[in-house]
Amino acid sequence: MLSNSSILITGGTGSFGHTFVPMTLAKYNPRRLVIYSRDEMKQWEMAKLYGNDDRVRFFIGDVRDKDRLSRALNGIDYVVHAAATKIVPTAEYNPFECVKTNVFGAMNLIDACIDQGVKRIVALSTDKASSPVNLYGATKLTSDKLFIAGNSYSGFSDTRFAVVRYGNVMGSRGSVIPFFLTLAQKGALPITDDRMTRFMITLEQGVDLVWHAFEDMVGGEIYVKKIPSMKLLDIAIAVAPDAIHEIVGIRPGEKLHEQMISFEDAPHTYEYPKHYKILPAINNWSADPERINGGKKVAADFTYCSDNNIEWMSIEALRTWIEQNRKNIGKI
């Protein structure tokens, strides 16, 4: 589907973009892959990685700017929406800015994609959008709802929208593993709560889920990959086995456990070998055989949370992953 196509990724200089771009170039050989973001320095640094590869283009712009988005989307077939204000405390203390990017930015992208005749759009979401307790989660839930409704909003056009949702991305910039690694030599690690659990997913798995969404989507689906959980305490032990643990308390807006599928979503959720799919409650789309596509409906009381997960990552497995990926952890 993506072969010989034109693809644009918003927020493309972030952790996801740094993995999505080389993997997609290698697998699909798109005609054009546009990185759309607002940070010129990050674009300049990323451009050096691709030399004279004329498939890779860079476009300075902000998702808050609908006119600039519209210009960038001219001739684009597929869009991955990765731009967001993502850090939970940052969103709590800068709520207006978070809403402008995560909500108004989503609205701008939906309008611009429809106007420009983009074929398929996959938006990246987060576990925090399921039963949100913080502003970041609330804005991403709003964004998810907007992208789902965009399939009706697009009218008779062929533009279709879907969402992928996953948890803590292992080793990404600003996440817990690189944070612990920077403190490991000091002999003490801050632990918010020793009961805390998190989902664990690699950037490569995240890219694979986006590819699957493009191939499978009819419009309005939320894809949730099956991934392991891990206790925060075990992550700390894997990073620095001899470090002292200092309990510092949960930060504003933070959850004890992550959730990706809520009890309320269960009536519209289907299971597949490697993922779940939440279908839209609107327009009776959750009963559409084409969207269900052979899935098995989950139990009425089903939830998918990091503390009730049946798959867990061991300390040894994480320690092996860290050693294999140490040079890239926290770099992108």
Pairing of strands 275-278, 269-271: antiparallel
Write the DSSP assignment of 92-139 as a string of letters.
Answer: HH-HHHHHIIIIIHHHHHHHHHHHHT-SEEEEEEEGGGSS--SHHHHH
**Residue 26 and residue 159: Cα distance in Å, rounded?**
26
Torsion angle, CA of 222/226/228/232, rounded to 10 degrees?
A: 10
Write down the number of H helices and E strands in the chain.
Answer: 12, 17
- Cβ neighbors of 88 (< 8 A, separation 6 or more) are 128, 134, 136, 251, 252, 253, 254
Rounded to whole angstroms, how far apart are CA atoms 69 and 59?
10
Q: Which residues are marked as active site?
A: 128
